Structure 1
Amino acid sequence: MPMTSSPAATMASADHATAHTLLNCLLREVSGPERQSVVADGWLRLRLPRCGVLLRVGLRRASLIGAHRFTGPVSEQRDGAWAEVSWRELAERVQRELQLRTGVRNDEFLDQVASSHAGMTAALEAKGERSAPPAAADTTAHDAYLASEQSLLFGHRFHPTPKARTGSADSWSRFAPEAGARFPLHHLAVRQEYVREESARPGALAALDRQGGQRGQDGQGAVPEGFRLLPAHPWQYAMLREHRVLRAALARGEVLDLGPGGAEFAPTASVRTLYDGRDFLKFSLNVRITNCLRKNADYELSGAVALTRLLEPVAADLAARFPGCELLREPAYRTLDLGGERQLIEGFGVIVREGLAARLRPGLTALLAAAVADEYPTSGAQISRLLPDVGPDRLSAWWRAYLDLLVPPVLAAYFDHGVVLEPHLQNVVIGVDPADGTPRQVLFRDLEGTKLVPEHHAAALAALPEAVARPLTYERERGWDRVVYCLLVNHVAEMVAALADRCPGLEPALWSAVRRVLCERSAAHDHPPALRALVAGVPLPAKANLLTRWARRADRHAGYVRIASPLASELLSEAAHVSEATHVPGAGRVSEAGRVSGAGHVSEEAVHACEAGHGPEGPHVSESAHVIHPGSSR
């Protein structure tokens, strides 16, 4: 994999990253919709009208979808002058504004922001303490993949507390992906009659049973006859080992504590899903990360296996129609059932997910999409390092290839099969050509967020227990919002941002390419009204992470705010014109049909702008450019 660096944003501090994520959320969910923000002369100015505060922050680059790139500290206007405010002071002002706006108090908000800041600080320190990455020639595909999974130092930039978490600092240093953790599993042997398991196909549980074979090879205690091996996350076992029901079962010999052993696993971006290079194992972890405790609910254990069965023909159809698209199945789970004790059923439930080798084409290198789209070069997967020293033509070609892999199967799953995939950045793995970084394949993962539209699957859902079937469904409109949010707002918009950081004038052409793919898919699906409206540029649903966190609602009850879409052809034409007028040209003009003139050719002026648009701090915003955030006032 190419690992050399190229111009990109320098690494942020935890102070600035915390402040910038708070501003992102304010802009998207509060100040933008209330028309209390403006982008002009290289600054974002944002008002908190109820507490009478005016804030500003410098811009590295303005964005057509309002996902701007900030730089430096946040300042507050006091007595006609600008004074810097710390991340904690900013959080206090956000807390005050939201309390006045909603009439609701949230006394844990500041602590959660502080926890997130501490998480970022720890991640940056751990990265600094780890040895330098090997040279490109010495980096294996497995190393590159794990590095991408473990590179998300700052988390979701539109979440107010992206690294908030419970648990001790020592535990996080041992088990966090950002710390580069590797560790063996803790193993229990459970008498057969106390094991609960399901599988969608023969051999699916071998991923769990082979851990016992590894123990035997290492000279450790084997699993006795009449018992089944139950691997556990060592952190989870430490939290549950004193449970009275488990202690009693251990005392009676119904459960045997075999201790740690076997192959080492590495935590992926979700923290609780572990990978040993062969299998993914998704464990419960009674730790709160951002909004929720990360556990496999009882219904999710059976639901993963049920979905794997139901989605097999869907996945096969999508793979046949859209070569380069694959779904990682979750064909089995196992847990222990000691008299129906729910805390133990859920706490020790482990879901088997297919490893990369089951679906990844030979010779490709897998990279987490979130790492490729990261704002900062935290790993060799980030776009500035994946595609070093390339110009706008190459960036545009990469983007067209990626869109053709990503977008069609997601829309076909919804319109043809009534399946709501959840292709946000942490749920997509990209298979790239190691020679030049070209995307060749996308793998969709994590069935927890995959849902079924009931009218498409009535018979299959009726055959399941109601407690399992109900959480597997979304009504059609809710499902469409989820598809659009995950696909366009969370994923495509962030990848556009990463590419536009390389060449600021390219953003209108990147969105034109998105519109081109959506137009093609609309025609392929006989122009369904929802997709026709999307192409026309109706507002897009954006998950309201700040307001959800403030209301202390569970993540599954999160609502959406509507943000202005960059897909309208008139907006794209105007944006391309503004880019040219401000000497940061776009990649050609955009026609009324939303296509880039010249069939993907990028002008010589754009090449010069791409080269000139990067200083030591990354791409800049022209002081003469006046770009109004959608829905804001000047």
Structure 2
Amino acid sequence: MEKQTNYTHLASKMTQTAFLNCYIRDVKQSGEKFFRKPKHDLVLASYFEERAHTKWLKIALNFLEQDVFCALSYYSLTGRHQYEFPCIVKDRNTGAIKELEFLALSELLIEEHNSTVSSKSNAAVQFVKSLENSKANTAAFLKFRNEITNDVSTIFNKEISFIDAEQSLLTGHSMHPVPKSRSRMTDEELFKYSPETKASFQIVYLLADSKFVLENSAREKDITTEIKEDLEDRGYITSEIEVLFDTHKDWKLVPIHPWELSYLKKNNTSVQKLISENKLIQLGALGPLYTPTSSVRTLYNKDSRFMVKLSLHVKITNSERCNLYHELLRGCEVSALFRTEFGAKFRASNPNFKIIEDPAYITLQDHEGIVIKGFNTSFRDNTKAIFNDKKVTMLGEICQDGVLGHSNRLYKNITHIAALDGISISEVSRKWFDLYLEFYLEGILDGYINFGMFFEAHGQNTMIELDEKGYPCNVYFRDSQGIIFRENKLKLAAAYIPDIALESHSFLSDDVLTPIYVNYIMISNIIGLVNTFGSNGLEEEHTLLKMVTKRLNKWKNKDDSGIIDFILKRRTWKVKSNLLTRLSGEDEAMNPVDGVIHVAYKNPLLYAHYENELLHPSSMDYCYENYFDKEGVVIKIRPFNINKDLNMVHDWFNRERALAFWKMDGSIKKLEAFYISLLDMDFSHAYIGEVNGETCFTFEPYWAMRDVVGGCYDAKPTDYGFHFLIATEEKEKRETVVCLKAVADYLFSFPQVEKCILEPDIAAKAMAIVLERAGFSIDKVIEQPHKTSNLFYNTRSNFFKQFPSLIKKELVLNK
């Protein structure tokens, strides 16, 4: 018997993955790696054995006193991981373990979140309903495409048409918890109007009294004239409609989505009044069949002059999808600008970065002059050379995960080229990615730095044209409504259109615009592509991140905006939290400032300064040995061995002298869990030290940019620190100063370490004295979430000036 596909189960896995990644990134700011089977937690160890899985991500739920463990199939530096379900929850008090189905997991994590913040309880309830709706819709789409149209395999072909690609986003936004939720639509309407079901339908038209019509166009003719001519030329105007045109000569044709018209007739009193007064005459569905693109509201017909971006009072992802009036103005004025010498200069400077324009709009206003949002309609150039080309696809489609046994499309593309040319997948991946950066990132930076333009160029607005072999050869940005100007560069555009951006409010200062821009061009574009390469086994993420850094560095001396330093040096970027925005109950489009919640996102480009051997030593052997002549002491250092050292350090941490500041006393099971997380942590590790052959100290080096302390002072990517404990009870035998010098000496042996810091508790007076004797200087007092600290530091150059005898010695044995 043929095995039946469980679409609900598959959709649940997809929705859980997106939700978990959003929660871990936006609420917890990361999870804890748990990549070893514990020896002292027998229940957890037994479960890990039963699942035959050892790589887990731990989510600490401190309020609920529970821990969630998620089995990892791929861990990403970018924060978008892959999982094997189900997840489990472990009660800290009883030790009991329970497997979690999707809804139970979601409700548990939301409960933990709501316990720590003021939250609209109804918004949380509505969010859970949206999760269920998104999961149900995803299951329905998968079944439809696999059993009704039976074309899932073509979605992941190396080449597919523009519209097929637009209708193939079955998984949706990879970092949105409810990518397929559609509020207000019934199941019947969902299938009738969704791109995932390959829907097609006619646009509805009304004849409107011209005094209620607002329109503009950067083209030669009014858009209402072009609409009428297009319908007449193609034979869609009936004799009855011709009569209406004759009797209403100054009236204008206005398009609207059929779903939206039904909604407005039921819910909008202004529309009801205009219809009842015969100021709006309903002509019904007219013209050719249009099909929805990935945004649901933008419609496409290959032979029409325009793509039509209509408005929908349907909440998709974070907002109801109604065009805003200032966006209509923006699209039109930007199109007019690109018809001047300004546009010619930009095209000449960026021949491989092309703008698809939105040159016209129509909407209606009511008797009071208030715009009726449901009629806000934008018209996009339907460039047939682009949209009929099987080699032009939006980035989001290329990056979506494979489903139902099919590989991701980027994977198929890269492996095809590798087989064709007889070269490695890694080499093809690097070349492909570098070409993308050349066309996309260079165009983005040139547009921002030299032309003063911000492009809302996230993955769904970015389209890639592939050459015959399959490499990028052009990049297209669509949705010119999303172009904003740098305030201090607005004069460049105003030289051609004096009042540009004023009515549309389309300019912002650099300090406001730059962090927003990084969210779009890095996190929602380039970083997502890096993850796709990595998660599909095409190339290591850190290799691609270094390529981004290298290309950005070329712009350092050309940048007057500060964006290059912001991208390269900031500890965190600002990312839009789709999860927290939905949980807040706000509509992003209606309240774009206060309605959008942003969180800190750890800058992955900083891995260029990452000392992997220090934080992830490749050997358990001794890595440092030095004889300190003056003190007559030999110091040896090796990485912490959890099987060998755990009992020893458990004894150390439970001694009286360690209790006050380390606060790591307690059961060995609890300490083991701490070290399991620490030893595979991205930014720290543990080492053991010996003095004259006696094992007596431990230290934990850390990368300040990832540690909590990095947010408490002006940390640099080359700042590394360490936590230090010496266990020797007899004061005269401790040799604390020389141990501290040895640890600093070891850290400075790594080329990326330029500054070494320590941040002891402000009450640790004795530690402050020995740090100064070891060459460290106090910088200032800093407030950390868990303590008030004295920040001590030393630099590489200063350290070796203080202790010149250390320079010539062979320090690192096993680097």
Deviation of 1:210 (Å): 4.2
Which letter maps to 2:107? Answer: E
Counterpart of 1:121 in structure 2 is 139
- 8 Å contact from structure 2 (residues 323, 376) kept in 1: yes
> Structure 1 stretch 118-127 or stretch 200-209: which is displaced more?
200-209
Matched, 1:446 2:479: yes
Which letter maps to 1:476? Answer: D
What is the CA–CA distance in structure 1 between the aligned matches of 2:516 and 2:23, rounded to whole Å? 21
Counterpart of 2:355 in structure 1 is 327
1:163 to 180, 185, 196: 180
1:150 to 156, 163, 167: 167
Over residues 61-99 of structure 1, what are the superposed CA-to-partner deviations in whole Å (9 max), with x where a residue is unaligned? 211222222232222124435422111112211221121
Query: For this pair of structures, how many residues does the alignment match?
Result: 575
- 8 Å contact from structure 1 (residues 221, 258) kept in 2: no
What is the CA–CA distance in structure 2 between the aligned matches of 1:342 and 1:388, rounded to whole Å? 55
Matched, 1:238 2:252: no
1:424 to 458, 461, 478: 458
Counterpart of 2:401 in structure 1 is 375
1:180 to 174, 177, 198: 198
Deviation of 1:112 (Å): 2.3
Residues 539 and 294 from structure 1, CA distance in 2 versus in 1: closer, same or farther, beyond 3 angstroms?
same
Which letter maps to 1:443? Answer: Y
- 8 Å contact from structure 1 (residues 112, 164) kept in 2: yes
Correspondence 1:481-492 to 2 at 5 A: 481-492=515-526
Which letter maps to 2:298? Answer: T
1:316 to 319, 344, 367: 344
Counterpart of 2:288 in structure 1 is 263
> Structure 1 stretch 150-159 or stretch 282-291: which is displaced more?
150-159
Deviation of 1:421 (Å): 1.0
Which letter maps to 2:543? Answer: A
Residues 387 and 580 from structure 1, CA distance in 2 versus in 1: closer, same or farther, beyond 3 angstroms?
farther
Counterpart of 1:284 in structure 2 is 311
Residues 66 and 554 from structure 1, CA distance in 2 versus in 1: closer, same or farther, beyond 3 angstroms?
same
Deviation of 1:166 (Å): 1.0
Counterpart of 2:753 in structure 1 is none
What is the CA–CA distance in structure 2 between the aligned matches of 1:217 and 1:562, rounded to whole Å? 53
Counterpart of 2:370 in structure 1 is 342
Deviation of 1:21 (Å): 1.8
> Structure 1 stretch 191-200 or stretch 452-461: which is displaced more?
452-461
* Percent of residue pairs identical: 23
What is the CA–CA distance in structure 2 between the aligned matches of 1:220 and 1:580, rounded to whole Å? 81
What is the CA–CA distance in structure 2 between the aligned matches of 1:162 and 1:361, rounded to whole Å? 24
Question: Over alpha carbons, which structure has the higher Rg?
Answer: 2
What is the CA–CA distance in structure 1 between the aligned matches of 2:179 and 2:153, rounded to whole Å? 31
Counterpart of 1:274 in structure 2 is 299
Deviation of 1:356 (Å): 3.3
What is the CA–CA distance in structure 2 between the aligned matches of 1:240 and 1:105, rounded to whole Å? 28
Matched, 1:549 2:582: yes
What is the CA–CA distance in structure 1 between the aligned matches of 2:277 and 2:501, rounded to whole Å? 33
Greater relative CO (CA pairs within 8 A, separation 6+) = 1
Counterpart of 1:620 in structure 2 is none
Deviation of 1:123 (Å): 2.2
Matched, 1:95 2:110: yes
Counterpart of 2:18 in structure 1 is 21
Residues 341 and 180 from structure 1, CA distance in 2 versus in 1: closer, same or farther, beyond 3 angstroms?
farther
Deviation of 1:326 (Å): 0.8
> Structure 1 stretch 116-125 or stretch 305-314: which is displaced more?
305-314
What is the CA–CA distance in structure 1 between the aligned matches of 2:564 and 2:476, rounded to whole Å? 23
- 8 Å contact from structure 2 (residues 231, 237) kept in 1: no
What is the CA–CA distance in structure 2 between the aligned matches of 1:361 and 1:22, rounded to whole Å? 33
- 8 Å contact from structure 2 (residues 568, 606) kept in 1: yes
Counterpart of 2:504 in structure 1 is 469
Residues 511 and 304 from structure 1, CA distance in 2 versus in 1: closer, same or farther, beyond 3 angstroms?
same
Q: Secondary structure of 2:204's partner?
A: strand
Deviation of 1:561 (Å): 2.1
Q: Secondary structure of 1:426's partner?
A: coil
What is the CA–CA distance in structure 2 between the aligned matches of 1:159 and 1:446, rounded to whole Å? 20
Residues 283 and 217 from structure 1, CA distance in 2 versus in 1: closer, same or farther, beyond 3 angstroms?
closer
How large is the RMSD of aligned CA atoms in angstroms? Answer: 3.6
Deviation of 1:290 (Å): 2.1
Q: Secondary structure of 2:357's partner?
A: coil
> Structure 1 stretch 202-211 or stretch 544-553: which is displaced more?
202-211
Counterpart of 1:498 in structure 2 is 532
> Structure 1 stretch 408-417 or stretch 203-212: which is displaced more?
203-212
Counterpart of 1:51 in structure 2 is 64
Where does structure 1 lack aligned partners over 5 or more consecutive residues?
1-9, 582-622
What is the CA–CA distance in structure 2 between the aligned matches of 1:361 and 1:576, rounded to whole Å? 51
Counterpart of 1:197 in structure 2 is 215
Correspondence 1:51-90 to 2 at 5 A: 51-78=64-91, 79-80=94-95, 82-90=97-105
